[in-house]
Amino acid sequence: MIARLLSNDLPRSRVLGAFLILIVLGLALAPFVFPGAKALNVAAKILVFVVLVASYDLLLGYTGIVSFAHTMFFGIGAYGVAIACTRLGPTWSSLLYGVAAAVALSALLSLLIGLFSLRVMAIFYSMITLAVAFAFQTLASQLSELTGGEDGLNFNVPDVLSPSYQLTEQPLFGVSLDGKIITYYLVFFCTVCLFLALLRIVNSPFGRVLQAIRENAFRAEAIGYNTVVFRTVANMLGAVVATLAGALLALWLRYNGTETTLSFDVMIDILLIVVIGGMGTLYGAICGATIFILAESYLEDLMAHGASVTQDIPLLSALLSPDRWLLWLGVLFVLSVYFLPAGIVGKLRSAK
């Protein structure tokens, strides 16, 4: 049953399987096991980035496409929800219209980008997508009447998803079942469904062709596969899933702005997580997103505690200063690439 649910793509490592189960259970029970607004926000961000990174891994890890426009589709999904709820009101129909319009726009743009750009060499395609992403970010920041410009858009959501909504009067295991908890489990359920759908795609005959194109595009072309068509379809699928991830983030934050979803920093985070987790695995998205976002969220606090403990050792205390958390995050990334060139999933699978 579990094998069918995972499209027969099992972890193939007991340690990896245990690690994945621990992560999934932690995310599923996060509101009850890890109380506090920050912990819940971190868990929700992990869920969103699992979908976002897995959709990018479909391009980079399974098809060999290096695109820098993924944040554009991520932003389109978030803006679709934000604009629809702002203009049409905080209703379920507004959410559906916003998501549908965003998905349609992303599918169209990814189709055009694929058809006009995927025929060129890989580096030129990457540069084209980078230019398109920056152009879209600039456009979103200038259309202030529609997108809110640099300030972004704050919006309301349907009442049942609002923090003020109470599902029950009595708390469950000490946790108040409000709209925030409902929104979290909506994000969790959508993340699980989208991840399983991506697993089905990469383990289908279509996914096998994508991997053949990644390994040797000329050979795949020679045996009769139109590589441009397959790459374009993969590009569209990745764009649509990234759009849905953006919609989930906007729904959780009830806000979207250019720096939240369209920033190049988000693209860098996606690339780092793919490399840390392991390209061409999808499970790497779960492991990488969890480790990276936990480090990003709590490394500064951990260093602050370390600096206070070692305050009598000037040099060590200075190195552990919270202001240097990005430096240590970079060091951790370099070490992970050096010691885990195939990523966490690749290392655990090879170790069995």
pLDDT digits (tens, 9 = 90+) for 77-90: 999 999 999 999 99
- Whole-angstrom distance, CA of residue 187 vs CA of residue 247: 10
Q: Between these two residues, 185 and 66, which has the higher pLDDT value?
A: 185
pLDDT at 184 over 90: yes
- Whole-angstrom distance, CA of residue 190 vs CA of residue 296: 24
Q: What is the mean pLDDT of the chain?
A: 89
pLDDT digits (tens, 9 = 90+) for 193-251: 999 999 999 999 999 999 998 888 889 888 888 888 899 999 999 999 999 999 999 99
Q: Are 202 and 62 in contact (CB under 8 A)?
A: yes
* Nearest residue to 265 (alpha-carbon basis) of 117, 61, 119, 49: 49
pLDDT at 341 over 90: no
pLDDT at 122 over 70: no
> pLDDT tier at 120 (50, 70, 90 boundaries)?
low
pLDDT at 117 over 90: no
- Whole-angstrom distance, CA of residue 310 vs CA of residue 294: 23
Q: Are 276 and 344 in contact (CB under 8 A)?
A: yes
Q: Between these two residues, 159 and 169, which has the higher pLDDT value?
A: 159
Q: Are 278 and 346 in contact (CB under 8 A)?
A: yes
Look at residue 209 in the predicted model and tell me its pLDDT: 93
- Whole-angstrom distance, CA of residue 308 vs CA of residue 275: 33
Helices in 203-226 by DSSP H: which ranges?
A: 205-215, 217-222
- Whole-angstrom distance, CA of residue 316 vs CA of residue 329: 17
> What backbone phi and psi angles, to 5 degrees, belong to 277?
-75, -35
CB atoms within 10 A of CB 351: 10
pLDDT at 351 over 80: no
pLDDT at 256 over 80: yes
- Residues paired with 178 in a beta bridge: 166
Q: Are 172 and 151 in contact (CB under 8 A)?
A: no
Look at residue 352 in the predicted model and tell me its pLDDT: 57
- Whole-angstrom distance, CA of residue 43 vs CA of residue 24: 11
Look at residue 121 in the predicted model and tell me its pLDDT: 62
pLDDT at 174 over 80: no
Among 187-196, 299-308, 339-348, the range of highest mean pLDDT:
187-196
pLDDT at 47 over 90: yes
Look at residue 329 in the predicted model and tell me its pLDDT: 78
CB atoms within 10 A of CB 239: 30
Which tokens belong to 63?
């098809």
- Residues paired with 153 in a beta bridge: 256
Across 304-328, average pLDDT = 76
- Whole-angstrom distance, CA of residue 246 vs CA of residue 272: 19
Look at residue 173 in the predicted model and tell me its pLDDT: 78
pLDDT digits (tens, 9 = 90+) for 266-307: 999 999 999 999 998 899 999 999 999 998 888 888 877 777
Looking at 13-22, 265-274, 335-344, which range is the least confident one?
335-344
Domains of the chain: 36-280 (1.10.3470)
Q: Are 74 and 257 in contact (CB under 8 A)?
A: no
